[in-house]
């Protein structure tokens, strides 16, 4: 059985990182696309903030195209695949999805995590790191839909998890998805 590459997609605050954490606890190696942004922001001597992160994301996409994060992460994904299945935390664009689907073929799977804007924005206002105001959260939503083409990967996901209740329910649903993936 060949190794699997599973990408988690969803809007900010939907629970992508928690879903990726459950995959990681289940033996998957984790590759976080956001680490590329964080490293670049820090290398420029900037503070981690929504504005600086957005600017860096847009600059990286101008330089490397809309599939930038997938392209820049391929070596890390391939390296991790030598030892385990891989979960990608935070795929953003349709172009990233197409690149990864073409590159990994039937070994590539998408998991979308959905929560309503009301729920997500409240979570983003409470999180300990990279907290967003409701206005910043709404602005980020709009930028991800209009500028990053995030809707497509969510629409074509192999699995969709609704994350509007408890952490325990979310973790249970993720474990069900992992079980289905292991059987395929």
CA 15 to each of CA 113, 114, 150, 161: distance values in angstroms, whole numbers, following the listed order = 7, 8, 15, 10
The answer for 132, left when phi > 0, alpha when psi is -120 to 50, beta otherwise, is beta
Q: Is residue 58 part of a domain?
A: no
User: Bigger pLDDT: 108 or 183?
Assistant: 108
Q: Is residue 175 part of a domain?
A: yes
Q: Is residue 56 part of a domain?
A: no
In DSSP notation, 90-132 reads: ----HHHHHHHHHHHGGGEEEEEEE--HHHHHHHHHH-SSS--
pLDDT band at residue 167, thresholds of 50, 70 and 90? Answer: very high
Q: Is residue 71 part of a domain?
A: yes
CA 12 from chain centre, in angstroms, equals: 9
Mean pLDDT of 36-45: 93
12-25 pLDDT, tens digit each: 999 999 999 999 99
Q: How many domains does the chain have?
A: 1
The residue behind tokens 């503070």 is: 47
Q: Is residue 126 part of a domain?
A: yes
65-102 pLDDT, tens digit each: 999 999 999 999 999 999 999 999 989 899 999 999 99
Q: Is residue 144 part of a domain?
A: yes
Give residue 104's pLDDT. 97
Range of the domain at 105: 5-33+67-179
Here the CATH number for the domain that contains residue 108 is 3.40.50.300
pTM of the model: 0.90
Q: For the sheet with 86-89, list strands across it.
A: 29-32, 86-89, 5-9, 108-114, 159-162
Flag whether pLDDT at 62 surpasses 80: yes
Backbone dihedral angles phi then psi of residue 157, each to the nearest 5 degrees: -55, 145
Q: Is residue 107 part of a domain?
A: yes
Residue 115 neighbours by CB distance under 10 Å: 21
Q: What is the rounded distance in angstroms from the CA atom of residue 51 to the CA atom of residue 48?
A: 8
Percent over 90 (pLDDT), the chain: 82
Coarse DSSP helix, strand, coil percentages of the chain, rounded to the nearest 5 percent: 60, 15, 30
Q: Is residue 134 part of a domain?
A: yes
């Amino acid at each position: 059985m060949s190794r699997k590459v599973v990408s988690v997609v969803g809007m900010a605050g939907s629970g992508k990182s928690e879903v990726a954490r459950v995959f990681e606890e289940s033996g998957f190696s984790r590759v976080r696309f956001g680490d590329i942004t964080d490293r670049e922001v820090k290398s420029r001597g900037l503070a981690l903030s929504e504005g600086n992160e957005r600017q860096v994301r847009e600059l990286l996409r101008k330089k490397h195209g809309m599939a930038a994060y997938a392209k820049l992460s391929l070596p890390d994904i391939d390296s991790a695949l030598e030892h385990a299945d891989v979960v990608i935390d935070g795929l953003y664009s349709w172009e990233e999805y197409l690149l990864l689907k073409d590159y990994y073929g039937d070994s590539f799977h998408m998991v979308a995590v959905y929560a309503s804007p009301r729920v997500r924005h409240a979570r983003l206002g409470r999180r300990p790191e990279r907290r967003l105001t409701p206005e910043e959260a709404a602005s980020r939503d709009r930028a991800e839909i209009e500028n990053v083409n995030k809707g497509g990967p969510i629409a074509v996901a192999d699995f969709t998890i609704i994350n509007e209740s408890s952490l325990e329910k979310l973790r249970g649903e993720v474990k069900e998805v992992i079980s289905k993936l292991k059987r395929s």
